[in-house]
Amino acid sequence: MKGKGITTLNTKGRGITTLNTKGRGITTLNTKGRGITTLNFKGRGVNTLNKKWKEVFTTLNTKGRGITTLNSKGRGITTLNTKGRGITTLNTKGRGDETSLNTKENHRLK
């Protein structure tokens, strides 16, 4: 997708939407009410998949440094990796939180 513009496609009331801004691409797909969403912003890649409402698989990749969030069946698994320095939070089956922090020279989040 090149150029500027906003394009919206709505199919069978279920919703397929494509947005392309400044040639960088924001794309949202919603299929059969279950939700499949892909976002690609500034060529750096933000991907979200939502299947059957219960299973959420989210991958965020910003500036090639990697922010990843996984949430399966509403139970919550979250991994954050910022600037290769590593912040990880895991919450599984809603039974607790496990947090691992790996900070080096600069631990500040931006």
Under 8 Å between Cβ of 45 and 58: no
Cα 101 from Cα 110, distance rounded (Å): 16
Q: Taking the chain (110 residues) in consecutive chunks of 10 residues, what is each chunk's mean pLDDT?
A: 43 44 45 44 43 40 42 43 44 40 41
Q: Report the pLDDT value the prediction gives residue 51, as an integer from 0 to 100.
A: 42
Written as six digits, the tokens of 5 are 């513009």
- Which of 67, 31, 63 lies closest to 49 in space, CA to CA? 31
Cα 61 from Cα 98, distance rounded (Å): 22
Where in the chain are the domains? 1-44, 54-104
- Which of 72, 24, 71 lies closest to 45 in space, CA to CA? 24
Q: Report the pLDDT value the prediction gives residue 75, as an integer from 0 to 100.
A: 42
Tell me the pTM.
Answer: 0.17
